[in-house]
Amino acid sequence: MAKSIQAVRGMNDILPEQSAAWQYLEDTLRGVIHSYGYREIRLPLLEKTELFKRSIGEVTDIVEKEMYTFEDRNGDSLTLRPEGTAGCVRAALEHGLLHNQVQRLWYAGPMFRHERPQKGRYRQFHQIGVEAFGMEGPDIDAEMILMTSQLWRALGLREITLQINSLGTLESRAAYRVALVDYLHGCESSLDEDSRRRLNSNPLRILDSKNPDMQAIIGDAPRLPDYLDPESRAHFEEVCAILDDAGIGYEVNPRLVRGLDYYSKTVFEWVTDRLGAQGTVCAGGRYDGLVEFLGGRPTPATGFALGLERMIALLEAHSIELPDNSPHVYLVLSGTQGIRRGMVYAGELRDAVGGLRLQVNCGGGSFKSQFKRADKSGARYALVIGDDEAVKGSVAIKPLRSDGEQETLTQQLAGQRLRELLDIDWESRPAGKAD
């Protein structure tokens, strides 16, 4: 036998038994995001490497050590996207979406980072991201946070807490930077290698360090909020006021800086302690400088991304009940005429009962083995068509999960009867849209 080939480390298959949870998650998130008036944008997985270097920042974990970068056959340097914001801004600029207008956009899909794989941290993972352009006030920052809070409610998730902070403008950050570098120079001998390297290139990033040995030093560092400019302070207070009015609890975390270069003013993270070390499920904030930095006109922007693998783990931790996607009905067939008629009849039934999930027995088998498969499929009813029924134009309906009697009726009437028996709110649903 040939040696089997395994998936790339840190890149997971999502198997059929897991996909119900993924669909529930994606459908729910999409529903809430659409209810806020955001529109989907679909973006390529590959972008020019330069885009990420310029937008995320050269001295960040992502650009320094996590990107999947390669030369394509033309010799161009390309990178598998490690996050979605850069590509979204690139596309919005390229297609003139930011010209004298506001935009509310979202996207979803896989992201790629060459990190050490562990629970909640993978090399291919999935995000849903939301970005809003052209609005500079605290209202849109608050909307982002209200929307995420609505997402948790819609999913039935509790025990996620909100941390927020303001990074201020570039100018106020510069003043803070001086104070921070001054302080960090004082304890340079205790800094880890990454932090020592960043001391001169990107000292704020040190506050984002995951190294436990660095936490005491970070805890005693000067606090960003003490250096905020008045405008950023007022902006931040207004975000907080809206959250207060909406009854959303939060913790102001003065050490929250986020790992990317492009943030300014409001930043936030939703964290949980239900997932061990990888507890941040959603992160975002304002990035007013990025559009201009990527060649556009100055355009205020704010957004967030949430990690779907960690959301799935949370759904599991909360034992959230998932919608049942198994077939409603299993069609048992026998005899040449029975099979021929049944294959066609299955399509007629699906047309007649929009949303019906009907699985046809293919591959033959005795009645006994077909009923075994019917049971295993999770269906509530079996329909039976043999040569006899094919000739007569009839069909038998047999309950699989209750003691009810088997009924035989005309093939024409069976659709109506199934509607009654299954008692689902079918109301004008297109095929495949039932719950």
Interacting residues toward ligand ATP by CB under 6 A: 83, 113, 115, 120-122, 125, 127, 259, 278, 280-283, 305-307, 309-310
The least distance separating ligand ATP from the CB of residue 307, rounded to whole angstroms, comes to 2
Q: Is 101 exposed, middle or buried (0-12, 13-18, 19+ CB in 10 A)?
A: exposed
Rounded to whole angstroms, the Cα distance separating 248 from 246 reads 6
Q: Of 257 and 382, which has the nearer Cβ to ligand ATP? A: 257
CB nearer ligand ATP, residue 55 or residue 127: 127
Instruction: Closer to ligand ATP by CB, 157 or 360: give it.
Output: 157
Beta strands, E only, 113-249: 124-133, 161-166
Q: Give the whole-angstrom CA distance, residue 283 versus residue 193.
A: 26
* Residue 348 CB, nearest approach to ligand ATP (Å): 45
Instruction: Round to whole Å and give the CA distance between 372 and 367.
Output: 8
Task: Give the nearer residue to ligand ATP in terms of CB position, either 115 or 238.
Answer: 115
Shortest distance in whole angstroms from residue 127 CB to ligand ATP: 5
Close Cβ partners of 163 (under 8 Å, ≥ 6 residues apart): 250, 251, 252, 253, 256, 268, 269, 270, 271
- To the nearest whole angstrom, how small is the minimum distance from the Cβ of residue 118 to ligand ATP? 9
Say how far apart CA 165 and CA 258 lie, in whole Å: 10
Give the angle 256-82-135 at the CA atoms, nearest 5°: 60
Nearer to ligand ATP, 38 or 122 (CB): 122
Pairwise CA distance, residues 346 & 405, whole Å? 22
* C-beta closer to ligand ATP: residue 191 or 305: 305
Q: Which of 422, 127, 184 is nearest to 303 (CA)?
A: 127
DSSP string spanning 230-297?
Answer: HHHHHHHHHHHHHHHHTT---EE-TT---SSTT-EEEEEEEE-STTTT--EEEEEEE-TTHHHHTTS-
State the minimum distance, in angstroms, from the CB of residue 234 to ligand ATP: 26
Closest residue to ligand ATP in the complex (CB): 307
| Least distance CB 49 / ligand ATP (angstroms) | 17
| Pairing verdict, β 329-333 and 358-360 | parallel
Which residue, 211 or 337, is less far from ligand ATP as judged by CB? 211
State the nearest-atom distance from the C-beta of 278 to ligand ATP, in Å.
6
Instruction: Considering the complex, state which of residue 259 and residue 415 has its C-beta at the smaller distance from ligand ATP.
Output: 259
Percentages (nearest 5) of helix, strand, coil residues in the chain: 45, 20, 35
Specify which residues 79 forms β-bridges with: 47, 69
Task: Please state the closest distance from residue 388 (CB atom) to ligand ATP, in A.
Answer: 56
Shortest spacing between CB 352 and ligand ATP, in angstroms: 44
If the CB atoms of residues 290 and 383 are measured against ligand ATP, the closer one turns out to be 290
Q: 127 or 411: whose CB is closer to ligand ATP?
A: 127
Residues in the chain: 435
- Helix ranges restricted to H, 13-159: 16-35, 49-56, 61, 85-94, 138-155
